[in-house]
Chains A and B, each alone.
Chain A
Amino acid sequence: MLSIIDVKRIRADFPILERSVRNGKRLIYFDNAATTQKPKQVIDAIYNYYMNYNANIHRGVHQLSEEATEAYEGARVKVARFINARSDEVVFVRNATEAINLVAYAWGRANIKAGDTIVVSEMEHHSNIVPWQLLAREKGARLYYIRIDYGDGAKGSSSSSNNSSSSSRSNSSSSSSSNSTNYDVASDASDASDDGDSSLILDDLYDAISHANVKLVAITHMSNVLGTINPVKEIVDICKDKGIKVLVDGAQSTPHMPIDVKDIGCDFFAFSAHKMLGPTGVGVLYAKRDILDAMDPFIGGGDMIREVHKYTASWNDLPWKFEAGTPNIADVIGFGAAIDYLNAIGMENVRAYEHQLTEYMLSRLMEVKGLRLYGSKEADRRGAVFSFNLADIHPHDLATILDEDGIAIRSGHHCAQPLMERLGVAATSRASLYIYNTREEIDRFIDSLERARLIFRVGG
């Protein structure tokens, strides 16, 4: 198969992929949904800043400050173009989690009242659940969960939204295994026809809107567990005529596909640099300009003000109103280099290559006896994030065996415990791929799963 991108050349940019682990095994890094590796270009950009033009930004009149400001604001322009936003709609924060919290505090506190409803889904990361729980508790508002279609007859059986802020809407599929110590997973091979396709049940959203005073829908663009790509544009279309704001958690989608926030039409969009070749410590909140204008600041301090007097202050222009204190200058500049790197490959090509890898991974996973994959079996509807369980092997035991073969995967609840509850498991194993991963690595990963079956003496 002819590759869409030159993986060999890409891999050469990532020095870490050359290292060996666990007594000489070549590293296979399949933990990209947690954080990705960084190319030399990103590392060099950060190094270059500290070596040659380290200075605080804005206000400085000396040359170093000018250069640093130019690089920092230049990165903002790159990010804005990358998601088709205006640069004054791009706020730099620490990570996607902070971006969502910023919305919960600065927008939510002013706009969510007692009796209002905030809609999330069962497949959200804790970072898109807990801020809304806190807000709902403070305001006396309600949380409402859009269920996922997961083969337990849930589809279409929508119910009223009479939920307190802390309770999950759906509990019909929670595991009730109480008399077995063994890990509670199905040991038979996965069966796509039984499972549903793990997509959102949009009827639940219609239901919520018709029965409750919905003010905000906060939804992930791509599940960090299932890989499911959600129809966020359709969700915005459902909401916009009703004046309902939509926040999209783009932490998992932005690294892997072209993003156009104007086309999606969402009000807020959050993502993290470190999941897309950039450094840790940088995240982005996009919000529509009129919303940012109307919002009060989140954090007060230097740089976010226009004028400060003893008892009053006025705010700086967008987006600096939301960036109090000295920001993470070096890493924002590094993030700019990551955007350049991805643009050089082209996000359409990133998506197309990962689509190929996904098709191959799906076909290979289906060959493994006793493996249960969570999420869609169709590459068109998902990203290259694969959560699964293998027979009765606990994910941590599996991760230990794979680690021994030099393969880094994640095991646990992936900060999505309501989803784990919905799937009826305590934990899953998760392999997540990126542009530098290859079919050969997938083959070695499958071999390692077979070795785990042998070590655990899984029959069949």
Chain B
Amino acid sequence: MSSADIYREIILDYYRNPRNYGRLEKPDVVVRDSNPLCGDEVEMHIKFEDGKIKDIRFNGKGCAISQASASMLTEMVMGKSLEEVKALGKQDILEALGLPNLGPARIKCALLSLKVFKVGIYSYLADKIGEGEASSIKEEASKLF
């Protein structure tokens, strides 16, 4: 996959004009993580209501792939039920980015936001539904890297 394929207009657009960028007033969950290798940072603020993602914002800094994927992820999950977002996987993100075959050096950039999001869902669910079900999501999140 060449750079010209990676940095298509849509990625650059989300990088330069991120959707759902910022913070929430009273989020139920705030999660932050970084990639120690390259310093990409993503923080997510999530608000839940009636088993759905009522609102979500992200902020951070990093390469075009990490920041575009975070922004796209917030759009994908906005308004969705917890059941729906629990099913989200690595391939969904890579397909949204249009980078199904991203190489090993950069795939971590693409998946950092999904990891942050899943950990956020986990910490919320751990409070609401008990450790059992939540820990399986946590395990899934930890396998992303």
Total A-B pairs, Cβ < 8 A: 62
Interface of A is mostly: loop
A184 to B105, CA, bound (A): 23
CA distance A456 to B16 in the complex (A): 11
Q: A397-B65, A413-B39, A456-B7 are in contact. Are A181 and B60 (CB under 8 A)?
A: yes
For residue A392, which residues in chain B have a CB less than 8 angstroms away from its CB? 16
Name the residue of chain A whose CB is nearest to the CB of B18: A181
Which residue of A is nearest B14, CB measured?
A181
A396→B38 CA distance, assembly (Å): 7
A412 to B41, CA, bound (A): 13
**B70-92 interface with A by 8 A CB criterion:** 71
A400–B107 Cα distance when bound, in Å, is 12
For residue A404, CB closer than 8 A to chain B, the reply is: yes
Interface residues contributed by chain B, number (CB under 8 Å): 28
Give per-residue flags for A133-177: 1 if the beta carbon is below 8 A from chain B beta carbons, else 0: 000000000000000000000000000000000000000000000
Known A181-B18, A181-B71, A413-B39: A397·B61 in contact at CB below 8 Å: no
What's the nearest-Cβ distance from chain B to residue A6, in Å? 35
A394-B64, A396-B109, A456-B12 are contacts. A412–B7 as well, Cβ < 8 Å? no
On whether the beta carbons of B4 and A455 are closer than 8 Å, the reply is yes
In the complex, which residue of chain A has the Cβ closest to the Cβ of B1? A404
Query: Nearest chain-B residue to A404 (Cβ)?
Result: B3
CA distance A179 to B17 in the complex (A): 12
Q: Is the CB of A182 within 8 A of B16?
A: yes
Q: Are B6's CB and A457's CB within 8 A?
A: no
CB-nearest residue of chain A to B59: A181
Contact of B62 with A by CB under 8 A = yes
Give B84 Cβ to nearest chain A Cβ, in Å: 25
Instruction: Please determine whether A404 and B2 come into contact, CB atoms closer than 8 angstroms.
Output: yes
Residues on A lying within 8 angstroms of B by beta carbon are: 178-179, 181-184, 392-397, 400-401, 404, 411-413, 426-427, 452, 455-457
Which 6 pairs across A and B sit closest by C-beta, in order of nearness?
A: A394-B63, A396-B63, A401-B3, A181-B18, A397-B63, A181-B67
**Which residues of B does A touch, CB under 8 Å?**
2-4, 6-7, 9, 12, 15-16, 18, 21-22, 37-40, 59-65, 67, 71, 105-106, 109
